[in-house]
């Protein structure tokens, strides 16, 4: 089982002082920076691109940057994010005509590759590519916005994908994204997630360290 990772989604940060927000959340105990890229085409919202990723690296951020691409097409932008300092790059299979090729492209640029499953996307999309992945990301909300409620069917999906990952014997992470809070993270961990994205739960709190510590404690109770 992979170590526990808390990855705050900067979608809910104050963009007017993004560098400071990222510094503060990392100082507060966050492990990764979750970086949501939306294009007003694949999803109905528009956010940030490689220039902002590069700016965070230049600002001095050394933590892993977990780029979640909600863009179509995918391949054109992959090299730009690799160059901008992305650690992992995850994408939605519906947004790529050649899923296996996109995974190879991400890895050929020295990044780790993740595949993201929307709430209605069947898990069998993983069947022929799981061995090539560093991470599976399950959406527990429909992508596009922060602050939505966790969709309960994601728990059963986590259990299924956890079994698939364990069957590979490979160190593939299982990440969950959407509606993760301090009070539901334990059942999400129990269902098999090891990597937890949380946007509004962290950035809307007055004390980042307090909420991250409560999340980590809750996960530790379950995972030991």
Binding mask 158-177 for ligand DX5 (x = CB under 6 A): -------------------x
- Choosing from 39, 66, 134, 177, the catalytic residue is 177
**Residue 7 vs 130, nearer CB to ligand DX5:** 7
User: Which one of residues 68, 157, 173, 216 is an interface residue with Zn ion (CB under 5 A)?
Assistant: 68
Residue of 21, 36, 66, 134 interacting with Zn ion (CB under 5 A): 36
Q: Annotated catalytic, 36?
A: yes
Strand partners, 174: 136
Binding-site annotation, residues for substrate:
9, 68, 144-147, 177-179, 199-200
Q: Which of 4, 5, 6, 12 binds ligand DX5 (CB under 6 A)?
A: 12
The one among 105, 161, 197, 215 contacting ligand DX5 by CB under 6 A: 197
177 is catalytic: yes
Sign of CA dihedral 121, 123, 128, 132: positive
Distance of CA 11 to CAs 30, 36, 121, 124, Å?
A: 15, 6, 23, 29
Binding segment (CB under 5 A) for Zn ion, from list 24-32, 36-44, 167-175, 204-212: 36-44
Q: Which does 147 bind (CB under 5 to 8 A by kind): Zn ion, ligand DX5, none?
A: ligand DX5
Q: Which one among 39, 134, 177, 194 touches Zn ion, defined by CB under 5 A?
A: 177
Spatial distance between the Cα atoms of 121 and 76, rounded to a whole number of angstroms: 23
Could you tell me which stretch among 32-40, 101-109, 149-157, 208-216 binds Zn ion (CB under 5 A)? 32-40
Instruction: Compare residues 104 and 209 and give the one whose CB is closer to ligand DX5.
Output: 209
- 169 CB contacts (<8 Å, ≥6 apart)? none
Angle 33-31-49 from CA coordinates, rounded to 5°: 10
Q: Which residues bind Zn ion (CB under 5 A)?
A: 36, 68, 177
Active site residues: 36, 177
Query: In the complex, which residues of this chain contact ligand DX5 (CB under 6 A)?
Result: 9, 11-12, 34, 36, 68, 141, 143-144, 146-148, 177-180, 197-201
């Amino acid at each position: 089982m992979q170590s526990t990772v808390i990855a705050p989604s900067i979608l809910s940060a104050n963009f007017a002082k993004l560098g400071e927000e990222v510094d503060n959340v990392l100082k507060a105990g966050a492990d990764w920076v979750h970086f949501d890229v939306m294009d007003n085409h694949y999803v109905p919202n528009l956010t940030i691109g490689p220039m902002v990723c590069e700016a965070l690296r230049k600002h001095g951020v050394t933590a892993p940057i977990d780029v979640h691409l909600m863009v179509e097409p995918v391949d054109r932008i992959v090299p730009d994010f690799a160059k901008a300092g992305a650690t992992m790059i995850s994408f939605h299979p519906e947004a790529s005509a050649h899923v296996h090729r996109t995974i190879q492209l991400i890895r050929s640029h020295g990044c780790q590759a993740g595949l993201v499953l929307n709430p209605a996307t069947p898990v069998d999309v993983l069947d022929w590519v799981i061995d090539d992945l560093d991470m599976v990301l399950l959406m527990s909300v429909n992508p596009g916005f922060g602050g939505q409620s966790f969709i309960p069917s994601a728990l059963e999906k986590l259990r299924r994908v956890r079994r698939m990952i364990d069957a590979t014997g490979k160190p593939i992470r299982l990440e969950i994204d959407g509606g993760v809070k301090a009070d539901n993270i334990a059942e999400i961990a129990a269902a098999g997630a090891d990597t937890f994205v949380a946007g509004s739960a962290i950035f809307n709190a007055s004390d980042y360290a307090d909420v991250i510590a409560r999340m980590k404690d809750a996960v530790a109770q379950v995972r030991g």
